[in-house]
Structure 1
Amino acid sequence: MKKNKFSLTSAILSVICVVFVAEAAAPAASIGNSQYFWWIFLLIAFLLPYGLISAELGTTYTSEGGLYDWVTKAFGHRWGSRVSWYYWVNFPLWMASLAVVCPDLIEAMTGIRSGTLLSIVIELLFIWIVIWLSYYPVSDSLWILNGAAVIKVILAVLIGILGIYTAVTKGVANEVTVQSLLPSFDLRSLSFISVILFNMLGFEVICTMADEMKNPKKQIPQSIITAGIVIAAIYLFSAFGIGVAIPADQINTGSGLMDAFKLLTGIDNGWFIGLMAFLFLLTLFGNMISWSFGVNSLACYAAKQGDMLKPFGKVSKKNGMPIGSSLMNGGIASIIVIIAPLLPNQDLFWAFFSLNLVMVLLAYVPAFPAFYKLRKIDPSSPRPFKVSGSDNFLKFLMILPMLLILISLVFTAVPLQFDSETLSEQLPILIGSILLVLVGEVIIWCKKITKEGAQKNG
Structure 2
Amino acid sequence: MENRRKFRLADVILSVICVVFVAEAAAPVASIGNSQYFWWLFMIAAFLLPYGLIASELGTAFPGDGGLYDWIQTAYPGTCWGARASWYYWINFPLWMASLAVVCPELLEVIFGGRIGPVWSLVIQLAFIWIVTWIAAYPVCDSILILNLSAAIKILLALTVGVLGIVYVSKNGFVNSMEARTFLPSFDLNSLSYISVILFNFLGFEVVCTYADNMQAPRRQIPQAIVTGGIVIAAIYLFSAFGIGAAVPVRDISPDSGLIDAVSLMTGGAGGTLVRVVALLFLVTLFGNMISWSMGVNSTAAYAADRGDMPAVFARRWKRNDMPVGSAVTSGIVASAVCLLGAVMERLSPDSSLFWSFFALNLVMLLLSYLPVFPAFLTLRRKFPDRERPFRVPGRSGFLKWLAYVPMALIILSIIFTAVPLSWDRETLTGVLPITVGSVLSVLLGEVLIAARRPQH
TM-score range, shorter chain: over 0.9
Please list every run of at least 4 consecutive aligned residues from structure 1 whose deviation after the TM superposition is greater than 3 angstroms.
Answer: none
| One-letter code aligned to 1:39 | W
Query: How do 1:374-389 and structure 2 match up within 5 A?
Result: 374-389=380-395
**Residues of 1 paired with 2:354 and 2:174: CA distance?**
29
Residue number in structure 2 paired with 1:86: 88
* Residue 410 of structure 1, aligned match among 416, 424, 435: 416
Residue number in structure 1 paired with 2:428: 422
* Residue 407 of structure 2, aligned match among 381, 401, 405: 401
> Is the contact between residue 264 and residue 272 of structure 2 (CA under 8 Å) also seen in structure 1?
no
Give CA-to-partner distance per residue, 1:3-24, whole Å, 9 cap, x none.
1100000000000000000000
**Residues of 2 paired with 1:60 and 1:157: CA distance?**
35
CA apart distance, 1:338:
1.6
**Residues of 1 paired with 2:139 and 2:226: CA distance?**
21
**Residues of 2 paired with 1:24 and 1:270: CA distance?**
23
Give CA-to-partner distance per residue, 1:118-154, whole Å, 9 cap, x none.
0001111111110011011100000000000000000
> Is the contact between residue 308 and residue 454 of structure 2 (CA under 8 Å) also seen in structure 1?
no
> Is the contact between residue 296 and residue 322 of structure 1 (CA under 8 Å) also seen in structure 2?
yes
Range moving further from structure 2, 442-451 or 15-24 = 442-451
CA apart distance, 1:380:
1.8
Residue number in structure 2 paired with 1:222: 224
Query: How do 1:116-135 and structure 2 match up within 5 A?
Result: 116-135=118-137
Query: How do 1:204-215 and structure 2 match up within 5 A?
Result: 204-215=206-217
Residue number in structure 1 paired with 2:362: 356
CA apart distance, 1:274:
1.5
- TM-score of the superposition, structure 2-length normalised? 0.97
Indicate whether 1:113 and 2:119 are aligned: no
**Residues of 2 paired with 1:101 and 1:267: CA distance?**
20
Residue number in structure 2 paired with 1:454: none
CA apart distance, 1:267:
2.9
Residue number in structure 1 paired with 2:60: 59
CA apart distance, 1:435:
0.8
CA apart distance, 1:250:
1.8
Give CA-to-partner distance per residue, 1:294-345, whole Å, 9 cap, x none.
0000000000011001000001100011100000010011111122121155
Residue number in structure 2 paired with 1:435: 441
Residue number in structure 2 paired with 1:324: 326
Give CA-to-partner distance per residue, 1:370-413, whole Å, 9 cap, x none.
00010001112100000011111111111000000001111001
Q: Secondary structure at the match of 1:100?
A: helix
Give CA-to-partner distance per residue, 1:266-311, whole Å, 9 cap, x none.
1310322211111000000000000001000000000001100100
| One-letter code aligned to 1:286 | G
Give CA-to-partner distance per residue, 1:240-280, whole Å, 9 cap, x none.
01101112222110111111110010131032221111100
**Residues of 2 paired with 1:432 and 1:338: CA distance?**
15
| One-letter code aligned to 1:91 | F
> Is the contact between residue 99 and residue 355 of structure 2 (CA under 8 Å) also seen in structure 1?
yes
**Residues of 1 paired with 2:201 and 2:175: CA distance?**
24
Query: How do 1:258-337 and structure 2 match up within 5 A?
Result: 258-337=260-339
Q: Secondary structure at the match of 1:395?
A: helix
| One-letter code aligned to 1:21 | V
**Residues of 2 paired with 1:307 and 1:38: CA distance?**
37
**Residues of 1 paired with 2:341 and 2:309: CA distance?**
30
Q: Secondary structure at the match of 2:80?
A: helix
**Residues of 2 paired with 1:63 and 1:273: CA distance?**
41
Range moving further from structure 2, 269-278 or 434-443 = 269-278
Indicate whether 1:248 and 2:287 are aligned: no
**Residues of 1 paired with 2:36 and 2:111: CA distance?**
30
> Is the contact between residue 7 and residue 214 of structure 2 (CA under 8 Å) also seen in structure 1?
yes
Query: How do 1:230-241 and structure 2 match up within 5 A?
Result: 230-241=232-243
Residue number in structure 1 paired with 2:193: 191
> Is the contact between residue 122 and residue 343 of structure 2 (CA under 8 Å) also seen in structure 1?
no
| One-letter code aligned to 2:133 | I
CA apart distance, 1:187:
0.7
**Residues of 2 paired with 1:297 and 1:449: CA distance?**
23
**Residues of 2 paired with 1:53 and 1:122: CA distance?**
39
Residue number in structure 2 paired with 1:391: 397
* Residue 102 of structure 1, aligned match among 101, 104, 107: 104
**Residues of 1 paired with 2:390 and 2:430: CA distance?**
49
**Residues of 2 paired with 1:184 and 1:174: CA distance?**
15
Query: How much identity, in percent, do the aligned residues show?
Result: 58
Give CA-to-partner distance per residue, 1:340-373, whole Å, 9 cap, x none.
1211552000000000000000000010000001
Residue number in structure 2 paired with 1:456: none
**Residues of 1 paired with 2:55 and 2:29: CA distance?**
24
> Is the contact between residue 106 and residue 112 of structure 1 (CA under 8 Å) also seen in structure 2?
no
> Is the contact between residue 36 and residue 236 of structure 1 (CA under 8 Å) also seen in structure 2?
yes
**Residues of 2 paired with 1:206 and 1:433: CA distance?**
26
**Residues of 2 paired with 1:404 and 1:248: CA distance?**
25
Indicate whether 1:342 and 2:334 are aligned: no
Range moving further from structure 2, 428-437 or 243-252 = 243-252
Q: Secondary structure at the match of 2:94?
A: helix
**Residues of 2 paired with 1:438 and 1:304: CA distance?**
22
* Residue 456 of structure 2, aligned match among 447, 450, 453: 450
CA apart distance, 1:81:
0.5
**Residues of 2 paired with 1:117 and 1:353: CA distance?**
22
Q: Secondary structure at the match of 1:101?
A: helix
**Residues of 1 paired with 2:242 and 2:268: CA distance?**
18
CA apart distance, 1:181:
0.5
**Residues of 2 paired with 1:273 and 1:389: CA distance?**
48
Residue number in structure 1 paired with 2:73: 72
Q: How many residues align?
A: 451
| One-letter code aligned to 1:84 | S
CA apart distance, 1:173:
1.8
- TM-score of the superposition, structure 1-length normalised? 0.97
**Residues of 2 paired with 1:336 and 1:308: CA distance?**
21
> Is the contact between residue 62 and residue 207 of structure 1 (CA under 8 Å) also seen in structure 2?
yes
Range moving further from structure 2, 341-350 or 434-443 = 341-350
Give CA-to-partner distance per residue, 1:417-454, whole Å, 9 cap, x none.
10000011111111110111011111121112333xxx
> Is the contact between residue 308 and residue 456 of structure 2 (CA under 8 Å) also seen in structure 1?
no
CA apart distance, 1:63:
1.6
**Residues of 2 paired with 1:144 and 1:20: CA distance?**
15
**Residues of 1 paired with 2:391 and 2:232: CA distance?**
21
